[in-house]
Amino acid sequence: MNLDNNAASITEAIDSGLLAGAVTLVWHAGQVVQVNELGHRDVAAGLPMQRDTVFRIASMSKPVTVAAAMTLMDEGRFTLDDPVARWVPEIAGLRVLTRPTGELDVTEPLRRPITFDDLMTHRAGLAYPFSITGPLAKAYARLSHRQNEERWLAELAELPLVHQPGARITYSHGTDVLGIAIARMAGQPLHELLAERIFEPLGMSDTGFALSLTQRRRMATMYGLTTDGSLRDDVMGPPPLTPPEFCSGGSGLMSTADDYLKFARMLLGGGTVDGVRVLSEESTQLMRTDRLHPDQKEHNFLGVPFWIGRGFGLSMSVVTDPAQSERFFGPGGIGTFGWPGAYGTWWQADPANDVIVMYLIQNFPDLTADIAQVAGNTSMAKLRMAQPKFVRRTYQGLGL
């Protein structure tokens, strides 16, 4: 095993001024075999990245919220096929666009209710403003900033679905709606539910929707890459000291490399880590099993042919054909699962090779950018390639 040069692409991006810093972690066969602390968590202050640096993990929150939901399913509180409207009646009367890019008032009724499975697989017909086009995308962009859960949900319920539930996959606010549903089901705020069922059992003491003052000092500054290829650091304010009124189950968590490693190990271990069972093995396998139909994989996902050699479980991608997947997305054996975050955070767990790889940075994305334009931007392309090169060199260094 030789991992000495696996972070060369990340160091190059840092030295080129495209990236402030990164924390990477490699776990293999039961132990952490490497942690890289690269660059700075705050360049102006001269604060280095450290193993315990706290990151906004964005959509890496989604599998955590789904795992908490699955603990309730393990108790018989709901099934994947149950209508969500029992717990979130605001969505019971939604209508569906006749055409995905059509006018908002040209709609048809639901053919069936939205289920928990729909929310967990992004097949509910909900969306994000960057995952669709047309008038509905603009309407999503006008949603409130989610400071108030009831207000946000009411605004969301006024919008039509982009397609019928179950018809296809569209990346969406589905996990936010799921978080509201399970909080109501459990009779407690989402931040308490996740703490009780996930964070405390796993010892994830640095993970949550808010940070203490001490944790704030370890927070990585959020940077953005400007059009001239330089970094700016005024893209996001400080995290809250107390949980917000609306805790976004789809994107609101902050965490560290070691904290999230415990979560990934739990999923890799069939719901158990270090003798602590969080999920049933059945629920863990459901999360890690491809649930997409072949025709659903024919549709591009976020503008790219995402499903080559891969499928989607409950809020996580799953490798179904390693040879095909590796050509486009890098190494990972059969059943490799994981999910990234919009701020550059990424992880995957590989059961075939007993490997977990984690890559954590803080770069605010331009979600309006066209894929082709990004591909033609040398600075952005160089930054985007740092992570896949790191993963390939990690697998090579492990001899896999």
Cβ neighbors of 18 (< 8 A, separation 6 or more) are: 225, 229, 231, 379, 382, 383
Alpha carbons 112 and 102: distance in angstroms, whole number: 21
The per-residue pLDDT string of the chain (400 residues; one tens digit each, 9 = 90 and over) reads 999 999 999 999 999 999 999 999 999 999 999 999 999 999 999 999 999 999 999 999 999 999 999 999 999 999 999 999 999 999 999 999 999 999 999 999 999 999 999 999 999 999 999 999 999 999 999 998 667 899 999 999 999 999 999 999 999 999 999 999 999 999 999 999 999 999 999 999 999 999 999 999 999 999 988 877 789 887 888 999 999 999 999 999 999 999 999 999 999 999 999 999 999 999 999 999 999 999 999 989 988 899 999 999 999 999 999 999 999 999 999 999 999 999 999 999 999 999 999 999 999 987 654 444 444 455 667 788 999 999 999 999 999 9
Cβ neighbors of 294 (< 8 A, separation 6 or more) are: none
pLDDT at 237: 85
**Pair of tokens at residue 313:** 């479980």
DSSP character string of 266-311: HHHTTTEETTEE-S-HHHHHHHTS----GGGGGS-BTTB-TTTTEE
**Residues 13, 263, 351, CA angle at the centre, nearest 5°?**
80
pLDDT at 371: 44
Alpha carbons 104 and 95: distance in angstroms, whole number: 10
Distances (CA, A) of 121 to 96, 126, 199, 291, 293: 18, 11, 23, 8, 12
DSSP character string of 119-179: HHHT-SS---TTS--SHHHHHHHTS--SSSHHHHHHHHHTSPBSS-TTSS----THHHHHH
388 sits in which H/E element: helix 378-397
Alpha carbons 288 and 316: distance in angstroms, whole number: 7
Contact 83, 113 (CB under 8 A): yes
Every domain of the chain and the residues it spans: 8-61+188-397, 73-186
Alpha carbons 299 and 39: distance in angstroms, whole number: 38
Structure letter (DSSP) for residue 393 = H
Look up the CATH architecture of domain 8-61+188-397: 3-Layer(aba) Sandwich (3.40)
